[in-house]
């Protein structure tokens, strides 16, 4: 009798874990974990180009729903390391946040556990970033525009709809390979 009870309890727990999010299986960021490395290409609207090393380390922490998201740029004495925390807000809706650990929080949207998107404005710059996970690599892209260089137009010239367009000033992109 105790054996049957234990088996039923295990089945019940497995069903609850698999259906913990409205009937959808619980997914983890397992494919993202690890150390990723590549070359970051930086192109700006003036035609200047720069290439630096980029690394991304994603690891678990002791806290459920929180992961270390560490980005480093460059190498040697010039290496710049940013240790962020990725926090789950509502994974069913794809909502996460990137905690810069200095009271700055960035909204991070996760699509199908294969892509992360972020959009924010800092010091007059509009930043859009993307991370796309494919087999064995992460494609990273950041696009930056200045809010000061705005082009304004209106629909049919009557002002009923106002369009604000921001020319792209910088594009950063990298393909990061898992170490």
Write down the pLDDT at residue 23: 39
DSSP 114-166: TEEEEEEEETTEEEEEEEEEETTEEEEEEEEEETTS-EEEEGGGTTSSEEEE-
Which tokens is 62 given?
């002791």
Overall domain count for the chain: 1
Q: Per the domain annotation, does 50 fall within a domain?
A: yes
Q: Per the domain annotation, does 90 fall within a domain?
A: yes
Q: Per the domain annotation, does 104 fall within a domain?
A: yes
Q: Per the domain annotation, does 91 fall within a domain?
A: yes
Domain residue limits at 33: 28-178
Q: Per the domain annotation, does 108 fall within a domain?
A: yes
pTM of the model: 0.80
Write down the pLDDT at residue 28: 57
Write down the pLDDT at residue 77: 92
Q: Per the domain annotation, does 112 fall within a domain?
A: yes
Rg (CA), the chain: 21
Q: Per the domain annotation, does 37 fall within a domain?
A: yes
**Residue keyed to tokens 């949207």:** 109
We report the CATH number of the domain holding residue 161 as 2.40.128.20
Write down the pLDDT at residue 22: 41
Average predicted confidence (pLDDT) for the chain = 86
> For the chain, which residues score pLDDT lower than 70?
1-28, 157, 159
Which tokens is 143 given?
């696009």
Q: Per the domain annotation, does 82 fall within a domain?
A: yes
């Amino acid at each position: 009798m105790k054996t049957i009870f234990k088996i039923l309890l295990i089945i019940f727990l497995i069903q609850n874990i698999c259906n913990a999010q409205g009937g959808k299986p619980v997914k983890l960021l397992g494919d993202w974990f690890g150390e990723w490395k590549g070359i970051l290409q930086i192109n700006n609207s003036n035609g200047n180009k720069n290439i630096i090393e980029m690394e991304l380390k994603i690891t678990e922490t002791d806290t459920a729903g929180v992961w270390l998201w560490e980005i480093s740029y460059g190498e040697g004495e010039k290496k710049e390391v940013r240790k962020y925390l990725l926090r789950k807000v509502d994974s069913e809706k794809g909502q996460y946040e990137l905690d810069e650990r200095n009271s700055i929080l960035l909204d991070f949207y996760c699509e199908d556990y294969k892509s992360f998107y972020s959009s924010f404005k800092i010091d007059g710059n509009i930043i859009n970033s993307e991370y796309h996970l494919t087999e064995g690599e992460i494609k990273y892209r950041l696009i930056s525009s200045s809010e000061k260089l705005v082009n304004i137009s209106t629909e049919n010239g009557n002002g009923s709809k106002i369009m604000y367009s921001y020319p792209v000033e910088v594009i950063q992109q990298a393909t990061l390979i898992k170490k």
